[in-house]
Amino acid sequence: MRLKSGLVADSLLRRATGLGLGAYMAARGDEDRGGIVLKLVGAGYRTRLLERTTDMDGRTVWRPIGPADGAAETDMDDRLRRRRAVDGDMWVLEIEDPKGVYPLDDPVEDAL
């Protein structure tokens, strides 16, 4: 059984705020089946985008969008705008994580 996207998004935000990190919903997606993208803003505004998806074995993973080690926040914002123009059902959650302490329950896939 798959959890609804809205529930997953809420839990990701609560985890961040519980760790004392700044977190907010930058874009609300489809409550039931919308994709979820995390925008992790690190030290020096180095930003990573991770998309929650399913791998070939059916496991939930986080797939990097853009460079796996991140890029300037403005560059990643441009990527997000283009992505949202195509997929309006996508959730975007922004988390300010300067020390890189935000834990992910699911593994991060290697960049292609």
Question: What CATH number did the domain enclosing 61 receive?
Answer: 3.40.1530.20
For residue 81, the surrounding DSSP H or E stretch is helix 73-86
Q: What is the pTM of this model?
A: 0.90
Q: How many other CB atoms are there within 10 angstroms of residue 47's CB atom?
A: 23
19 burial type by CB count under 10 A (0-12 exposed, 13-18 middle, 19+ buried): middle
Dihedral, 94, 5, 33, 59 alpha carbons, nearest 10? 90
Task: Please list the pLDDT of the chain residue by residue as tens digits (112 residues).
Answer: 678 999 999 999 999 999 999 999 999 999 999 999 999 999 887 899 999 999 899 999 999 998 878 899 999 999 999 999 999 999 999 999 999 889 988 888 875 5
| Number of compact structural domains in the chain | 1
74 within some domain: yes
- 102 part of a folded domain: no
Q: Is residue 85 part of a domain?
A: yes
As given in the structure block, the two tokens for residue 48 are 């990573």
Question: Per the domain annotation, does 103 fall within a domain?
Answer: no
Q: What distance in Å separates the CA atoms of residue 87 and residue 109, rounded to the nearest whole number?
A: 21
The answer to whether residue 67 is domain-embedded is yes
Round to whole Å and give the CA distance between 31 and 8: 10
- Domain span at residue 81? 5-96
